[in-house]
Amino acid sequence: MEAGKELFAIYSRKSKFTGKGESIGNQIELCRQYISAHYGESFADSAWVYEDEGFSGGNLERPQFKAMMQEAKKKRFTAVVCYRLDRISRNIGDFANLIEELNELHISFISIKEQFDTSSPMGRAMMYIASVFSQLERETIAERIRDNMLELSKSGRWLGGNTPTGYTSESVSSVTIDGKMKKAFKLKLIQEEAKLVRLIFEKFLETGSLTQTETYLIQNGHKTKYGRQFSRFAIKGILTNPVYMAADQEAYEYLLEKKVDLFAEKEAFNGSHGVIAYNRTLQKAGKTHEIKDMEEWIVAVGKHEGVVSGSMWVRVQRLLDQNKSKNYRKPRSNVALLSGILFCGCCGDYMRPKLSPRYNDQGEQIYSYLCTMKEKSRMKCCKMKNVNGNMLDQMVLEEIRRISEDYDEFQTQLSRSKKAVKDSGQELEWDISRLNEELKNMEGEIAGLVASLGKAGGTGAEGYIIKQIDDLHKRREEINQQILTLSQAAGSSELTGPEFQLLKQTLSSFRNVVDLMDVRQKRAAVRTFVDKVIWDGENVHLYLFGSEDPKPPKPQGDSSK
C-alpha cells in the first residue's frame, strides 16, 4: 500500500463469557498504535471502528461485522485491521471467503499479532495457514466436549434444560472419579402427564395422522404443559423424542439399525429404564433447534422410567417416515386481502382464506374465510359461519374509500395512525429494557459457571458446565440480535414529516386509485390503515389504527353468504 492514500477500518470482537483474552478497548488501541506507527497518526485517528462484544468467532453472524462489510462494498476504506486473526473468524471456510471478497474489493487485511498483510502474496499464504490452525483448535475443543458427553452418558443423567412433557427433574448425588461428591440430575415420571403422552402415541398410531391427532386433542380439551393448544409441531416433538422409549430389545435393534453411537451393553436393554440421547440437537442462535441425524446421537440407558414400549416408539417413527411427503403446509393465497388480520368473533382465532375452483361474474376466483379453530376441531370448539371472502374484502375497501371522502374522519384517522405508530415505538422501548435486564441477569449466571469450571477441570462435570455456558452464550447472542433489531425498529417508529405527508397522500388518493391497484398493492393499502378485522357471524367489525371502538363497515348486501 502507498502511504497517504489509505483509509482504515478497525474490527474487534470478544466472547465475553470466556473470562480471558484482550478487551475490546485494548484491541482497538493496539490497532491504532499499529496504524500510527506504519502510516501516520492522522490515519489512526480517522479509522472507522466496528466492535462486536459477546459474539462467537464460529461464524460471521455478527451485527457490526455485517455493517463493516456493507461499508466495504461502498469503498469507505482500503484496509481492515484487527488485533488477531481469530477475532475475525475461527472457520476456515468463512475466512477464505472473506479474504476473497476483500481482494475483489481491493481491500487489504492486516492482522497485527501474526504480522500478516494480504497486500502481499506471502501474507495471503501465511494467513490461510494460520486460519487452518484456528479451525483445528476449534474442532479440538468440540471433540473434547463430545468426549465429555460420552463420559456423562455412562451415568444416564439428565443434563438440564426444559424437561420433556411427562417428567420433572430431580437432584441425586453421585461420586466422581476422584471421590468427591457432586450433584447430578435424573428424570422423574409425572403420572398425569405421562398418561397424556401415551394417549398421543396411541392416537397417532390409530389415525396415522398428525392433523387428526391434533383435532382429537383440541376436541377433548387436552393442552400442553404450558397451557397452550397442541399443534402438529408440538405433537411431532413428543412422538420423535427417544426419552419416552423404554430401553428394551426392540429399542436396541432399532438403534443399531440407525447406527447411533450406542453407549450401553445389550443386557442393559431389559425394559426397566428409558432411553436418553445426548448430542441430539443442533443449536443455532436466533433459529429453531434442528434435530441431528441419528448417526450423530450418543445414546445411553437412562435412570428414568420409559413411557411407551420400544416397539410402539419404533412403529411411530416408521409411520412418520412414510408420511413425510404428506406434511401439513399452510395454505397460501394471492387473492385474499385480509389474511393475518381477520379474526373469529367467537373463539378469537385467525380466519384463513379457502379458495374454490369457481369464478364469479367479474372473473375473480371465489373464496371464503373460515376459522382455523373450527377447522382444527372439526366444529367441536367453534362453529363460526364462514364468510364470503370476495364480498368481505370489497366491504373493507369501500370503508377505506369512504374515510378518504369524509374530510373530518380523514383527519381523525391520520392522527390515529400517527399515534399508533408512536405508541408502538414506546412498546419497543419497553421490550428493549426487559431484554437488557435479562442480559444483566445472564451475566451473573455465566460468571458463576466460569468460576465453577475452574474447580471442575478434569471431572465429568466439566462437560456439563461447558454446555450450560455455551447455551447461555447462544441465548445472549440471540438477545443481542433482538435488541439490535428492536433498536432499529424503535428508531424508525416515529413518523417524520415527509412520512406523515406520504401517509396523508396515500389515504387521500385511495378512492381514485384503488381500482387500478393489483392484489398485492391493495393488501398493503389495507394494512396501512386497518389494525384488525373481526367477523361475528353476521357483521364485520373494522378496527382502524388507534381506534378504541370497532367500526362496522356499511353493508354491501348479505355478507354472510
Domain boundaries, the chain: 8-149, 167-326, 382-561
Judge contact between 137 and 85, C-beta under 8 A.
Answer: no
Per cent of the chain over pLDDT 90 is: 15
Residue 559 pLDDT: 42
Q: Which CATH superfamily is domain 167-326 in?
A: Putative Large Serine Recombinase; Chain B, Domain 2 (3.90.1750.20)
Residue 28, pLDDT > 70, answer yes
With beta carbons less than 8 A apart as the criterion, state whether 301 and 268 touch.
yes
Fold (topology level) of 382-561: Helix Hairpins (1.10.287)
Give the angle 442-49-496 at the CA atoms, nearest 5°: 80
Per-residue pLDDT at 170 exceeds 60: yes
Q: Is 221 helix (H, G, I), strand (E, B) or coil?
A: coil
pLDDT surpassing 90 at residue 442: no
Q: Give the Cα separation of 178 and 243 in Å (integer).
A: 30
Average of per-residue pLDDT across 151-169: 70
Q: What is the pLDDT confidence band of residue 62, given thresholds at 50, 70 and 90?
A: confident
Q: Look at the alpha carbons of 387, 391, 394, 395 in this order and tell me if their dihedral is positive or negative.
A: negative
Residue 181 forms beta bridges with which residues? Answer: 175
Q: What is the mean pLDDT of the chain?
A: 75
Cell matching residue 406: 369524509
Q: How far apart are CA 555 and CA 140, in angstroms?
A: 70
pLDDT of 178: 47
For the segment 331-339, the average pLDDT, to the nearest whole number, is: 70
pLDDT score, position 551: 53
* Residue 275 identity: V
Cβ–Cβ under 8 Å, residues 64 and 51:
yes
- Binned at pLDDT 50, 70 and 90, residue 134 comes out as low
pLDDT in tens, 463-489: 666 667 666 666 777 777 667 665 655
For residue 1, the model assigns a pLDDT of 46
Q: What average pLDDT does the segment 289-298 reach?
A: 79
- Where residue 311 falls among pLDDT bands split at 50, 70, 90? very high
All three cell numbers of 268, joined, read 442393559
Alpha-carbon torsion (262, 268, 270, 273), positive or negative = negative
Q: What fold does the segment set 8-149 form as a domain? A: Rossmann fold (3.40.50)
pLDDT band at 308 (very low <50, low <70, confident <90, very high): very high
The segment with the largest mean pLDDT, out of 41-50, 83-92, 176-185, 508-517, is: 41-50
- Rounded CA-CA distance 386/367 in Å is 10
pLDDT (tens digit per residue) in 379-416: 888 989 999 999 999 888 888 777 666 655 555 655 55
State how far the Cα of 125 lies from the Cα of 102, in Å rounded to an integer.
15
Tell me the per-residue pLDDT of 194-240, one tens digit each, with 9 for 90 and over: 999 999 999 999 988 888 899 899 889 998 888 888 888 889 999 99
478 or 537, greater pLDDT: 537
Average pLDDT rounded to a whole number, residues 138-163? 58
The angle subtended at Cα 467 by Cα 466 and Cα 468, nearest 5°, is 90
Confidence of residue 288 (pLDDT cuts 50, 70, 90): low
Q: Please give the average per-residue pLDDT across 28-53, as a whole number.
A: 89
Please write the tens of the pLDDT for every residue from 177-204.
445 555 667 788 999 999 999 999 999 9
Strand, helix or coil for residue 544: strand
Residue 154's pLDDT is what?
54
In this structure, what C-alpha cell is assigned to residue 52? 462486536
Q: Which residues pair with 272 in a beta bridge?
A: none
Q: Which of 43-57, 130-144, 251-265, 296-310 has the lowest mean pLDDT?
A: 130-144
By percentage, how much of the chain surpasses pLDDT 70? 63
Q: Reduced to 3 DSSP states, what percent helix, strand and coil does the chain have, rounded to the nearest 5?
A: 50, 15, 30
The residue-averaged pLDDT of 100-113 equals 84
pLDDT at 161: 65
pLDDT digits (tens, 9 = 90+) for 69-81: 999 998 889 999 9
Looking at residues 552-558, what average pLDDT do you find?
A: 51
